[in-house]
Amino acid sequence: MKQEDTIAAIATGLSPSGIGIVRVSGRDAFSKISTIFKGASGQAKDLASMESHSVHYGYICDRDIIIDEVLLVLMKAPKSYTTEDTVEINCHGGPFVLKRVLDVVLSTGIRAAEPGEFTERAFLNGRIDLSEAQAVMDLISSKNEFARNNSVKNLKGSVKNKIVELRNRIIHECAYIESAIDDPEHYELDGFSDKLKSKTEDIISEIEGLIKSFDTGKLLNEGIDCCIIGRPNVGKSSVFNAMTGEEKAIVTNVPGTTRDTIETMINYEGLTLKLTDTAGIRDTEDKVEIIGIDRAKDAIERSDVIFAVFDSSENITDEDREILSLCENRKAIVVLNKTDLDTNIDETEFRDFNIIRTSVKTGEGIEELFKEVSKLFFDGELNFNDEIYITSARQAELLKKAKEALLLVIESIDNSMSEEFLTSDLMEAYGKLGEIIGEEIEDDLAETIFRDFCMGK
């Protein structure tokens, strides 16, 4: 019954803008909107009789009161996002106007859409698969060129095509086993296990590549957490400001000026960094400063990479050594700052770390900091080629379960078990891969997934 309802929602953001869109989808979309729309002449129009993908100028009216001047875009089933009859009302973009237009639409008996319901309908009606639906959400939330590019590739079926190909290879082997069991005169199983083991190992290897891509894809999609640490007055906030290109952090020569973490997002050649400036780490009796230092240590724990800043014009201190110890067994870059002054620091203390020499005054080394992060994670080169990146934790988990099932196939072959015992694990892997694209998924799980989408999408 829910799928038979006609639904509506504001499809654009609720902030002042030139244009806003109210989207309506369902079998009664044309007939219901016809009751509240008048053309330029003031006459009602039968929208169902109009051509698909046509635009109509007129007014949305509440009885005889004009609510807004609009353009209607009509899309007849199945040539729409949801594959249902769809009307998009392009009205003026003020939040009050949009809400008022939506209220008039709902007054016709149309139901307010739930978050993600338009995309859910597109999925349930076969317009997109589950991996493409995930790509829609990723595209909306993309923060950089990689995320946008990867989302577009997945929206065009990059993940789907790979999963379908892997499933076809698995089901082919299952079909051969069943055929050989039913018709041994025409299908031989002699030597089949060795061939199946080799093919299964190949599939496992490809699945492992997809699983491995999740860590990289997540970093590229959501951004790399970078934490700047150091004792007071080594120039942490100056480095932070130089990297952001703005005076976001207060810089003074008074120790303990930074009392709290300051966070910002920056983009560098398609890479997003979530940069955090922290309080100087030192022994102190100041209660407020102690809270800031605790927060700095929390930031270290959740970071993907640490920028440990040291004053190259001074001898290394015990506080410096404590900071260096916080970088052990972590991805960390030593930043020797203030290189415009005479160098006095003993660089042999940092022999186990990558070193970048910087001067905020001259600009030396700031660009190299970004490049060093790229080297740490991507060998210095971001790849926007045809490689597939998994960005959904749900997809990564299902890939792991598919791999586990295929490893059981290998184990059964090694234990010389008969072929009929292999099909159950092959079909388990086939099913888990199917869940990625929504081939085998319960409706209640689909609803849960689509609830994460924004309203109007």
What is the 8-class DSSP label of residue 4? Answer: G
- Report the alpha-carbon distance of residue 342 to residue 344 in Å, rounded: 6
pLDDT digit string, tens, across residues 269-310: 777 889 999 888 877 777 777 788 888 888 888 899 999 999
How high is the pLDDT of residue 291?
Answer: 81
What is the 8-class DSSP label of residue 417? Answer: -
Residue 193 shares a structural domain with residue 272:
no
Non-local (6+) Cβ contacts of 429 within 8 A are 170, 203, 402, 403, 405, 406, 409
Q: Is residue 450 part of a domain?
A: no
Residue 322 shares a structural domain with residue 228:
yes
How high is the pLDDT of residue 384?
Answer: 54
Residue 52 shares a structural domain with residue 71:
yes
Residue 53 shares a structural domain with residue 84:
yes
Q: Is residue 321 part of a domain?
A: yes
pLDDT at 1 over 50: no
Q: Is residue 177 part of a domain?
A: yes
How high is the pLDDT of residue 435?
Answer: 92
Q: Is residue 446 part of a domain?
A: no
How far is CA 229 from each of CA 345, 383, 398, rounded to the nearest angstrom?
A: 17, 30, 38
Residue 46 shares a structural domain with residue 115:
yes
Residue 368 shares a structural domain with residue 429:
no
Residue 250 shares a structural domain with residue 370:
yes
- Report the alpha-carbon distance of residue 90 to residue 33 in Å, rounded: 13
pTM exceeds cut of 0.85: no
Q: Is residue 335 part of a domain?
A: yes
Containing 306, the helix (H) or strand (E) segment is strand 305-311
Q: Is residue 386 part of a domain?
A: no
Non-local (6+) Cβ contacts of 157 within 8 A are 129, 131, 132
How high is the pLDDT of residue 204?
Answer: 97
Residue 276 shares a structural domain with residue 326:
yes
Amino acid of residue 40? A
How is the chain split among helix, strand and coil, in percent rounded to 5?
45, 20, 35
Percent of the chain, pLDDT > 90? 47
Which residues form the domain of 273?
223-378
**Which CATH number characterizes residue 400's domain?**
1.20.120.430
Non-local (6+) Cβ contacts of 423 within 8 A are 174, 177, 178
Question: Which of 133, 33, 126 has its CA nearest to residue 75?
Answer: 33
**Which CATH number characterizes residue 334's domain?**
3.40.50.300
Of the two residues 110 and 422, the one the predictor is more confident about is: 110
How high is the pLDDT of residue 82?
Answer: 95
Of the two residues 294 and 26, the one the predictor is more confident about is: 26
Domains held by the chain: number: 3
- The strand order across the sheet containing 271-277 reads 262-268, 271-277, 224-229, 305-311, 332-337, 354-357
Residue 186 shares a structural domain with residue 243:
no
**Which CATH number characterizes residue 69's domain?**
3.30.1360.120
pLDDT digit string, tens, across residues 132-156: 988 888 888 787 777 888 888 888 8
Chosen domain end from 82, 114, 129:
129
Residue 33 shares a structural domain with residue 69:
yes
How high is the pLDDT of residue 400?
Answer: 97
Residue 77 shares a structural domain with residue 25:
yes
- Report the alpha-carbon distance of residue 359 to residue 114 in Å, rounded: 53
Amino acid of residue 46? D
How high is the pLDDT of residue 57?
Answer: 96
Residue 350 shares a structural domain with residue 231:
yes
- Report the alpha-carbon distance of residue 419 to residue 65 in Å, rounded: 74
pLDDT band of residue 6 (cuts 50, 70, 90) is: very high
Q: Is residue 345 part of a domain?
A: yes
pLDDT digit string, tens, across residues 328-341: 888 999 999 999 99
Report the alpha-carbon angle 239-243-245, nearest 5.
Answer: 110
pLDDT digit string, tens, across residues 151-177: 888 888 899 999 999 999 999 998 888
pLDDT band of residue 399 (cuts 50, 70, 90) is: very high
Question: Which of 157, 128, 116 has its CA nearest to residue 438?
Answer: 128
Of the two residues 231 and 293, the one the predictor is more confident about is: 231
> Tokens standing for 347?
């660089």
Q: Is residue 428 part of a domain?
A: yes
> Tokens standing for 37?
């729309």
Chosen domain end from 100, 129, 158:
129
pLDDT band of residue 448 (cuts 50, 70, 90) is: low
Average pLDDT over residues 32-45: 92
Residue 7: Cβ within 10 Å count: 22
Chosen domain end from 129, 152, 182:
129
